[in-house]
Amino acid sequence: MAFTTPAMRHRLGETTRRDGWWINPAAMALTFLVFVVYAAWAAIQSKYYTYGPPGAEHYTYISPFYSPPFQEYFPKVAAFKFFPAFWVVWLPIAFRLTCYYGRKAYYRSIMLSPSACSVGKGAGRGYNGESALPWILNNLHRYFLYLIVVLVIFHWFHFFQAFNFDGRFGMGVGSLVIAADTILLSLYVASCHSVRHLIGGSVDCFSCARAGEARLKAWEGVSWLNQYHNLFFWASLITVGFADLYIRLCAMSIWTDVRFF
């Protein structure tokens, strides 16, 4: 049953607040917009997503948008050769759209429902919870979590690959870009509310549960990380987009990957 709050009884954006309440939702909306437009464009590209030093037989960097590289593992499946990122990016998009923090971000910045505390969301826009389509699909988040863990494992594989320059250990700016993306994505996933629930959400008494002490320590660790979940959400969103851009521009010879050794 729909119910109303004071914010719903005012016109959209109506408020007595005098602070810069609009800056946060505006910045979030702009970041979302830039990322979505760039990711959509990148997802329909079928080249310039790997980079290796000139003359190398194997690539060193692969864009996170193309990991796992299905087109390499299943070269005979024609579908994977066209728009190879398309087969990967739906998962992080679904995971982020159903993320508890992601929901808050787009409810506020895109749907203005409401855009901030004590700011009107417009008359007649009641709240029905997430009990009907399409918002009930947000409950799939925990299932996307299981799949995203596989994706994180591939990211770590490509992390080590980013320090392998045709069989020799090395490090370039791209290695650090990929390292930052891998670490921030791992922190984003590890700080997920569903991970916290999986570890300790169903336990009433840790000292009575099997492996209770270890679970309590893990739950405390994830709970500590969880307080920074919004930071990891935005930081990993920016680094994953920048990693693709960096590798793409290096592959196109527009940027040069500086090697430290």
Binding site for ligand FES (CB under 6 A): 99-101, 141, 192-194, 229
Task: Kindly state the smallest distance separating residue 100's Cβ from ligand FES, in Å.
Answer: 4
**Closest CB to ligand FES among residues 121, 229:** 229
Contacts of 18 (CB under 8 A, 6+ apart): none
Residue 56 or residue 238: which is nearer to ligand FES going by CB?
Answer: 238
Nearer to ligand FES, 97 or 203 (CB): 97
Q: Smallest distance from the beta carbon of 13 to ligand FES, in angstroms?
A: 27
| Cα–Cα distance measured from residue 43 to residue 240, given in angstroms and rounded to the nearest whole number | 13
Helix then strand then coil, in percent of the chain rounded to 5, is 60, 5, 40
DSSP 113-145: TTSSTT----TT--B-TT-STTGGGGGGHHHHH
Task: List beta partners, residue 51.
Answer: 61
Nearer to ligand FES, 104 or 259 (CB): 104
Q: Could you tell me the smallest distance in angstroms from the CB atom of residue 101 to ligand FES?
A: 5
Which C-beta is closer to ligand FES: that of 48 or that of 135?
Answer: 135
In whole angstroms, give the CA distance from residue 55 to residue 246. 20
Of the candidates 43, 36, 40, 41, the residue with the CA atom closest to the CA atom of residue 83: 43
* CB 219, min distance to ligand FES, A: 15
CA distance 12 to 169: 57
Count Cβ atoms below 10 Å from residue 132 Cβ, excluding itself.
Answer: 8
Q: Under 8 Å CB-to-CB from 147, ≥6 apart: which residues?
A: 91, 95
Minimal distance, residue 132 CB to ligand FES, in Å: 21
Closest distance to ligand FES from the beta carbon of 145 (Å) = 6
Question: 175 or 186: whose CB is closer to ligand FES?
Answer: 186
**Cβ atoms of 151 and 90 closer than 8 Å:** no
